[in-house]
């Protein structure tokens, strides 16, 4: 398998295409298309994820109702809506696969830097949760800003991290709907995308850290790591 992706941002995805591909944008004469993919969880629920594909690897098979098996990266970009900048996230496909290489249809490994103070909280059922935002370096001096959510002992670990700390993590990309209040007091349904963390570690810049060795992209998730 040819997997020449940047080591600090790797995604494996297998799921059903549930929307038609629409033209998104063009960079240096190369067109890019967007569509949505439904990826099943172990629980039987599904994550609906945005996907971006270059015209260079688009094919007739990438249409609604078909399945996509691919490798890529989780990327972010800013979009202006109603005069405000909004962080958008997408799975950027780098390589299409003909064969599903593992049982886990939704895997991600990232390494980057904490760029906002982590937010630790507990639910009414005393479940521990921590939100973090990770800056992941990309080629050409770009960075992706990836939100993530940790649970249990990972949440307790995250709450002690500081801005600038370097971390590596693995998990899955999840979609989550929420209600956003409008100026007229009405509510609209929005969708957030984030990494649900199953494994996390912090390390110093000087450490010889091999993310491929620590976090196996193709591992099968353990049954008790169902963070719904």
Based on the structure, what is the number of domains in the chain? 2
Does some domain include residue 225?
no
Domain that holds residue 81: 9-101
pTM for the full predicted model: 0.87
141 and 59 in a single domain? The answer is no
Tell me what pLDDT residue 79 has.
78
- Asked if residue 210 and residue 113 are part of one domain, the reply reads yes
- In 3D space, the residue among 88, 77, 104 whose CA is nearest the CA of residue 13 turns out to be 104
pLDDT beyond 70 at 11: yes
Q: Please list the alpha-helical segments (H only) found in the chain.
A: 152-158, 211-214
Q: Is the pLDDT of residue 148 over 70?
A: yes
Q: Strands 46-54 and 166-181: what pairing?
A: unpaired
Rounded to the nearest integer, the mean pLDDT of the chain is 87
pLDDT band at 122, cuts 50/70/90? very high
Q: Is residue 3 part of a domain?
A: no
Q: How far apart are CA 75 and CA 64, in angstroms?
A: 23
Taking the C-alpha atoms of residue 140 and residue 159, their distance in angstroms, rounded to an integer, is 32
| Across 80-100, average pLDDT | 86
Measured CA distances, 38 to 18, 83, 159, 227 (Å): 7, 31, 32, 18
Q: Is the dihedral of CA 48, 121, 204, 211 positive or negative?
A: negative
- Do 62 and 144 lie in one domain? The reply is no
pLDDT of 218 reads: 62
pLDDT band of 215, cuts 50, 70, 90: low
Give residue 209's pLDDT: 59
What are the C-alpha distances in Å from 110 to residues 15, 24, 72, 133, 211? 21, 25, 12, 12, 8
Domain-embedded: residue 176: yes
CA angle centred on 75, ends 73 and 80, rounded to 5° = 160
Residue 227 pLDDT grade (very low, low, confident, very high; cuts 50, 70, 90): very low
137 and 61 housed in the same domain: no
Q: Name beta bridge partners: 30.
A: 27
Q: What CATH number does residue 75 fall under?
A: 2.40.50.140
* The domain boundary residue, chosen from 66, 101, 136: 101
- Reported confidence tier of residue 214, pLDDT bands at 50, 70, 90: low
């Amino acid at each position: 398998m040819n997997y020449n992706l940047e080591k600090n941002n790797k995604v494996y995805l297998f799921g059903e295409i549930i929307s038609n591909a629409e033209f998104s944008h063009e960079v240096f004469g190369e067109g890019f298309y967007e569509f949505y993919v439904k990826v099943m969880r172990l629980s039987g629920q599904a994550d609906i994820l945005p996907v971006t594909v270059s015209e260079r690897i688009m094919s007739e098979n990438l249409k609604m109702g078909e399945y996509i098996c691919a490798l890529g990266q989780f990327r972010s970009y800013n979009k202006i809506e109603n005069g405000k900048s909004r962080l958008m996230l997408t799975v950027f496909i780098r390589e299409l696969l003909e064969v599903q290489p593992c049982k886990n249809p939704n895997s991600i490994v990232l390494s980057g830097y904490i760029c906002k103070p982590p937010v630790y909280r507990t639910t009414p059922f005393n479940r521990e949760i921590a939100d973090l935002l990770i800056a992941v370096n990309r080629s050409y001096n770009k960075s992706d800003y990836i939100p993530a959510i940790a649970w249990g002992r990972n949440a307790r670990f995250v709450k002690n991290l500081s801005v600038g700390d370097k971390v590596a993590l693995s998990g899955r990309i999840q979609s989550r709907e929420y209600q956003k209040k409008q100026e007229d007091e009405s509510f609209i349904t929005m969708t957030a995308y984030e990494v649900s963390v199953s494994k996390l570690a912090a390390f110093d810049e000087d450490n010889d850290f091999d993310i491929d060795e620590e976090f196996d992209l193709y591992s099968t998730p353990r049954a008790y790591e169902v963070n719904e």
